[in-house]
Structure 1
Amino acid sequence: MTINSREITLEVGDKEFSFALSPQDVTKYFNAMTATNKVAPSFNLLSTTVNQEQRAGLREQLQVNPVLTMQMAGALLEEFAPDVEVLVKKPSTTPSA
């Protein structure tokens, strides 16, 4: 685990999986995503960041349904994301003088 990594545990059914996720892992994931390739980057993100002793069990779970792969990757990324409020400022409709 690197200095910027976060340890995140996901519970899937009756199993728990621990992940060590870093900004580099997330960047690699986003860079691999394309309009026609989403499940493979998610599978790779989960497989490469899970605790090594849990990798075989995780891969069994991921083969059940590709939607599960996407849900797990989404949950992992949501937990990794910083808790920052982002607001979009709307342009003023009043003319400037």
Structure 2
Amino acid sequence: MQNKQIVIDTDEQEFTFNVTGQAYNKYLNSTTPTNKIQPATNFLLATVDDAQKKELKALLQQPGAALHMVGTVIEDYTPEFNFSVKKSKSEPSE
């Protein structure tokens, strides 16, 4: 998987995230229907530039910030896919 540097601009400052395939997979594997905030926070703090961790921790105290920011980072990290299901010729037409 690719490594990618992603810069997110907030009203206050920019944050630089260094996302790796391993960090991305760890985030996805740790997210459950009842546990979304902590994996998002962990992912963001693990991938942000070290010099920006203190400021990011403060920002992530705001309700919804972790989920909104992780969504933005993940959306930029993942490539676009165009997958579709091809119908089998043996299936009857509708």
- TM interval, short-chain normalised: 0.7 to 0.9
Large movers: runs of 4+ above 3 Å:
88-93
Q: Aligned match of 1:55 in 49, 53, 56? A: 53
Q: Which amino acid aligns with 2:85?
A: V
What SS does structure 1 have at the residue aligned with 2:84? Answer: coil
Q: State how far apart, in whole Å, the 1-side matches of 2:37 and 2:86 are.
A: 34
Match of 2:37 in 1: 39
> What TM-score, normalized by structure 2, do the two folds share?
0.87
Q: State how far apart, in whole Å, the 2-side matches of 1:80 and 1:88 are.
A: 25
Q: State how far apart, in whole Å, the 2-side matches of 1:41 and 1:58 are.
A: 15
**CA 1:85–1:53: 2 relative to 1, 3 Å:** same
In the alignment, structure 1 segments of 5+ residues that lack a partner are none
Give 1:67-82 correspondences, 5 Å limit. Answer: 67-82=64-79
Q: State how far apart, in whole Å, the 2-side matches of 1:53 and 1:74 are.
A: 22
Match of 1:26 in 2: 24
Q: State how far apart, in whole Å, the 2-side matches of 1:11 and 1:93 are.
A: 52
Task: Compute the displacement of 1:93 (Å).
Answer: 4.1
Q: State how far apart, in whole Å, the 2-side matches of 1:93 and 1:14 are.
A: 58
